[in-house]
């Protein structure tokens, strides 16, 4: 069985012998590799390596950092199919979707290619006689990234290109469920000319995460994953004096008003609900229909769901692949059972679906519920699978209130042809990322990504300008140089120039 090792100081490293975890191909249900699980000692060694590399990397010329990022950008673009295949083999998403994931990661690398411009400070001349003031942004030191299974290439790329370009060194703890895309990224970074020790990977579970949280030489942690773990990372990390950004889970609602283009709304709900088998933090999981919209929308959705091609991700024309593990598939099926028992109407039932030749794969079909109420578990919990709930409300105000009362606030969308209704939505909705006739409003790399409420802990959104701010500290310099005038001792605050 292939063993996936850590990546420390520019080479593959086995770490202390001991625990490992299984990696599966979700389409076949077969184990394809073992991944090493780091001990606290492995983490300590990695952080110390990164700390040493920081001493020189922090002073590397901006032009050099940019040229390494440009080289890395070219390599990722050239190897996009290799990354996508590695992704599909361990995550299960379709190859087409995996290529899209690599593309969105690539865009953050492109953003980081412009780091010299992004790190420019402010300058005010003559704030007092012969005195100038300016700001510089400096890297933090060793920063860590802890990432989820659902975007094993893109989410790490939301973090390390910017962190590294800002002059930090990086330790990545990827999801233990699909570790290979990170490994390939490490090889490409080395090929691009990144010095050893600047980018490192420790694989593993809670043991590795806790060791990073406790390590005194880790200055900051970026986390993306589920809300309970995000809250834990934020609480523990900040208590240990670290800067932390922790992005959590979601329950994304899409409102459909009666005047909406119902074909567009049906296409969008089905794409955003079942794309990547619902394993996206920006997936739509609740469709809120206002007035009589449901009666026109649901038959159109049903038609489209019936035509979805559910197949192994690498198969030509596959639209939806399997879920990540057998346990997760069973958990999702359990939610469908619960929704039925709690009285929701099943419009299409994804349970019991089989893909011929892949009977051991972790597949489940697409489920659509109607007449869901906020008290039901399928409404309250993040299912993270291909299950869409329809909640019918009478008035637009009720739909807005439903979203604003929800503890999550990652993404949301409204479908309407009424500009005033759309403007009201963008103004009143308590959610960080808002789509108007766009179901998955993921910001481009030159904006920043972040939800509100229980979908984020910490004050910085991820990547884009906020990423640069997260990975740097501002220093203000007040300089008098040269200053021929000496005023002598003055214990007061200066009142004039």
CB of 273 to ligand NAD, least distance (A): 14
Q: Is 229 in the site for ligand NAD (CB under 6 A)?
A: yes
CB of 16 to ligand NAD, least distance (A): 18
CB of 281 to ligand NAD, least distance (A): 3
Identified binder of ligand NAD from the candidate list 161, 249, 275, 409, rule CB under 6 A: 249
Taking the C-alpha atoms of residue 447 and residue 41, their distance in angstroms, rounded to an integer, is 38
Q: Considering beta carbons, is residue 36 or 281 the nearer one to ligand NAD?
A: 281
Identified binder of ligand NAD from the candidate list 175, 180, 200, 389, rule CB under 6 A: 175
Identified binder of ligand NAD from the candidate list 224, 333, 368, 414, rule CB under 6 A: 224
Q: Is 457 in the site for ligand NAD (CB under 6 A)?
A: no
Taking the C-alpha atoms of residue 296 and residue 289, their distance in angstroms, rounded to an integer, is 10
Q: Is 206 in the site for ligand NAD (CB under 6 A)?
A: yes
For the chain, the farthest-separated pair of C-alpha atoms sits apart, in whole angstroms, at 88
Lay out the site mask for ligand NAD across 276-295 (x = CB under 6 A, - = otherwise): -----x--------------
Are the beta carbons of 69 and 237 closer than 8 angstroms? no
Identified binder of ligand NAD from the candidate list 106, 209, 318, 431, rule CB under 6 A: 209
Are the beta carbons of 281 and 272 closer than 8 angstroms? no
CB of 152 to ligand NAD, least distance (A): 9
Identified binder of ligand NAD from the candidate list 112, 247, 262, 355, rule CB under 6 A: 247
Are the beta carbons of 422 and 416 closer than 8 angstroms? yes
Taking the C-alpha atoms of residue 180 and residue 90, their distance in angstroms, rounded to an integer, is 8
Residues 389-418 that bind ligand NAD (CB under 6 A): 410
Q: Which long-range contacts (CB under 8 A, 24 or more apart) does 394-397 make?
A: 394/290, 394/291, 395/290, 395/291, 396/255, 396/257, 396/290, 396/421, 396/424
Catalytic entry in 50, 281, 293, 372 = 281
Q: Show the 3-state SS of 286-350.
A: EEEEECCHHHHHHHHHHHHHHCCCECCCCCCCCCECCCCCHHHHHHHHHHHHHHHHCCCEEEECC
Collapse the DSSP code of 29 into the 3-class scheme (helix H, G, I; strand E, B; otherwise coil) and give the result.
coil
Nearest-CB residue for ligand NAD: 225
Identified binder of ligand NAD from the candidate list 67, 130, 133, 226, rule CB under 6 A: 226
Identified binder of ligand NAD from the candidate list 28, 46, 147, 412, rule CB under 6 A: 147
Stretch that binds ligand NAD, among 2-10, 60-68, 87-95, 145-153 (CB under 6 A): 145-153
Paired with 287 in beta bridges are 254, 390
In whole angstroms, how far apart are CA 464 and each of 114, 161, 212, 242, 244?
11, 11, 24, 21, 16
Q: Is 108 in the site for ligand NAD (CB under 6 A)?
A: no
In whole angstroms, how far apart are CA 389 and each of 29, 206, 310, 340, 346?
28, 33, 20, 12, 9
Q: Is 362 in the site for ligand NAD (CB under 6 A)?
A: no
To the query of whether residue 281 is one of the catalytic residues in this protein, the response is yes
Taking the C-alpha atoms of residue 361 and residue 297, their distance in angstroms, rounded to an integer, is 32
CB of 417 to ligand NAD, least distance (A): 30
Report the residue count for the chain.
497
Q: Is 237 in the site for ligand NAD (CB under 6 A)?
A: no
CB of 357 to ligand NAD, least distance (A): 28
Q: Considering beta carbons, is residue 171 or 229 the nearer one to ligand NAD?
A: 229
Collapse the DSSP code of 372 into the 3-class scheme (helix H, G, I; strand E, B; otherwise coil) and give the result.
coil
What is the Cα Rg of the chain in Å?
Answer: 25
Catalytic residues: 281
- Contact residues toward ligand NAD (CB under 6 A) are 146-151, 155, 173, 175-176, 205-206, 209, 224-226, 229, 247-250, 281, 382, 384, 410, 451, 455
């Amino acid at each position: 069985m292939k063993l996936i090792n850590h990546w420390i100081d520019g080479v593959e490293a086995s770490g202390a012998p001991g625990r490992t975890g299984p990696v599966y191909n979700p389409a076949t249900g077969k184990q394809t590799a073992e991944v090493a699980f780091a001990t606290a000692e492995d983490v300590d060694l990695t952080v110390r390596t990164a700390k040493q590399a920081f001493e020189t990397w922090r002073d590397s010329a901006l032009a050099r950092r940019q040229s390494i990022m440009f080289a890395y950008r070219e390599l990722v673009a050239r190897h996009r199919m290799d990354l996508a295949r590695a992704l599909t083999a361990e995550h299960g998403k379709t190859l087409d979707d995996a290529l899209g994931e690599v593309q969105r990661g690539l865009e953050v690398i492109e953003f980081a290619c412009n780091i010299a411009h992004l790190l420019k400070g402010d300058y005010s001349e003559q704030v007092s006689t012969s005195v100038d003031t300016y700001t510089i942004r400096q890297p933090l030191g060793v920063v860590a990234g802890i990432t989820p299974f659902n975007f094993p290439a893109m989410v790490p790329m939301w973090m390390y290109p910017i962190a590294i370009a800002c002059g930090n060194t990086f330790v990545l703890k990827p999801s233990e469920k699909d570790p290979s895309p990170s490994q390939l990224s490490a090889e490409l970074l080395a090929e691009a000319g990144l010095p050893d020790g600047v980018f490192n990977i420790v694989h593993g579970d809670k043991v590795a995460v806790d060791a990073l949280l406790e390590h005194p030489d880790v200055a900051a942690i970026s986390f993306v994953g589920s809300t309970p773990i995000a809250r834990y990372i934020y609480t523990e990390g900040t208590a240990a004096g670290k800067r932390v950004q922790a992005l959590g889970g979601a329950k994304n609602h899409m409102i459909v008003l009666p005047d909406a283009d119902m074909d567009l709304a049906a296409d969008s709900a089905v794409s955003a609900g079942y794309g990547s088998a619902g394993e996206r933090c920006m997936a739509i999981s609740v469709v809120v229909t206002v007035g009589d919209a449901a009666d026109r929308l649901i038959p159109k959705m049903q038609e489209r769901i019936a035509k979805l091609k559910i197949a192994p991700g690498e198969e030509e024309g596959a639209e939806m692949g399997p879920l990540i593990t057998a346990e997760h598939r069973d958990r999702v099926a359990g939610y469908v059972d619960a929704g039925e028992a709690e009285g929701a109407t099943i419009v299409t039932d994804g349970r019991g679906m089989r893909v011929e030749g892949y009977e051991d794969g972790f597949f489940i079909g697409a489920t659509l519920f109607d007449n869901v109420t906020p008290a039901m578990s399928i409404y309250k919990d993040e299912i993270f699978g291909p299950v869409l709930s329809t909640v019918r409300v009478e008035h637009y105000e009720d739909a807005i209130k439903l979203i604003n009362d929800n503890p999550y606030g990652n993404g949301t969308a409204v479908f309407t042809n009424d500009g005033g209704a759309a403007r009201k939505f963008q103004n009143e909705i308590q959610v960080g990322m808002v789509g108007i006739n766009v179901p998955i409003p993921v910001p481009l790399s030159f904006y920043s990504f972040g939800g509100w409420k229980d979908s984020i802990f910490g004050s910085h959104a991820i990547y884009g300008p906020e990423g640069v701010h997260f990975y740097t500290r501002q220093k203000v310099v007040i300089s008098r140089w040269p200053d021929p005038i000496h005023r002598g001792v003055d214990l007061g605050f200066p009142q004039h120039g």
